[in-house]
Amino acid sequence: METWFVGSGPSLLGAIGVLATTYLGMAAARAWISSALKQARVDPATRLLAQRVITAGIGVFGLLTAFTVLGVSPATILALLGAVGLAFSLALQDILKNFFSGMYLLIERPFGPGDVIRVKDYLGVVEHIGVRTTTLRTAENIQVLVPNAVVFAEVVSNHTLQTGGPSLPVAGPPAADAAQTPAQPSAVSSSAAIVNDPPAPAT
């Protein structure tokens, strides 16, 4: 045991030092990115996405460096990461599809919060675009969470871009009153015609 520690101790301490430095670097990068993007008035969802991507890259680089310090071959590390990544992607296929679709929506921004869009059978105001789901608020005040993979794959109509600005239909009257609705304008028009008719000339 003592012989092993004497032989491997410096490498082990070096790897621990690399991991500690990586952790501190991830925390510093997260804080710096948040501050810089906040000053640039980038929306919170995009800030969060940038923080996660950059800190994940720093973490992977630090982990590879730590294994290299321990004497593990980089080719072995990359082969192991490839196998783990393949199993991970197959197990979390739907989650990863939603995540990368969310990255596309946050970067390309085909629509934004406040826009009125239709996705499949849902028409509503965009409340939030996350890395996994897009949140809509319908005319019936129902919150709908649409997976980003669905938004990415389906045809999306943006009603905010139509002439006259955005419009969201309001839920109509119950079915029992629907039959009376068409008759109301004619009744109002008739009343207006009676009121606006000039009086008959006196004889």
Mean pLDDT of 57-82: 82
Neighbouring C-beta atoms of residue 178, cutoff 10 Å: 10
Q: What is the pLDDT of residue 44?
A: 75
Q: What is the pLDDT of residue 8?
A: 61
Mean pLDDT of the chain: 75
Neighbouring C-beta atoms of residue 62, cutoff 10 Å: 20
Mean pLDDT of 159-188: 53
Residue 72 contacts residue 80 (beta carbons within 8 Å): no
Q: What is the pLDDT of residue 99?
A: 78
Residue 181 has pLDDT above 50, yes or no: no
Read off the pLDDT of residues 107-152 as tens digits, 9 standing for 90 and up.
888 888 899 999 988 999 999 888 788 999 999 999 999 998 898 8
Residue 195 has pLDDT above 80, yes or no: no
Alpha carbon distance 124, 141 (integer Å): 9
Share of the chain above pLDDT 70, in %: 72
CATH architecture type of domain 111-161 = Roll (2.30)
Bigger pLDDT: 74 vs 122:
122
Q: Which residues pair with 126 in a beta bridge?
A: 136
Give me the phi and psi of 185, to 5 degrees please: -60, -40
pTM of the prediction? 0.48
Domain ranges for the chain: 7-91, 111-161
Mean pLDDT of 186-193: 41
CATH architecture type of domain 7-91 = Orthogonal Bundle (1.10)
Read off the pLDDT of residues 79-101 as tens digits, 9 standing for 90 and up.
877 887 777 777 667 777 877 88
Q: What is the pLDDT of residue 135?
A: 92
Distance of CA 41 to the CA centre of its chain: 17
Alpha carbon distance 124, 118 (integer Å): 7
Per-residue tokens: 61: 């680089």
Q: What is the pLDDT of residue 138?
A: 92
Mean pLDDT of 155-165: 73
Most confident region among 97-106, 164-173, 192-201 by mean pLDDT? 97-106
Bigger pLDDT: 125 vs 10:
125
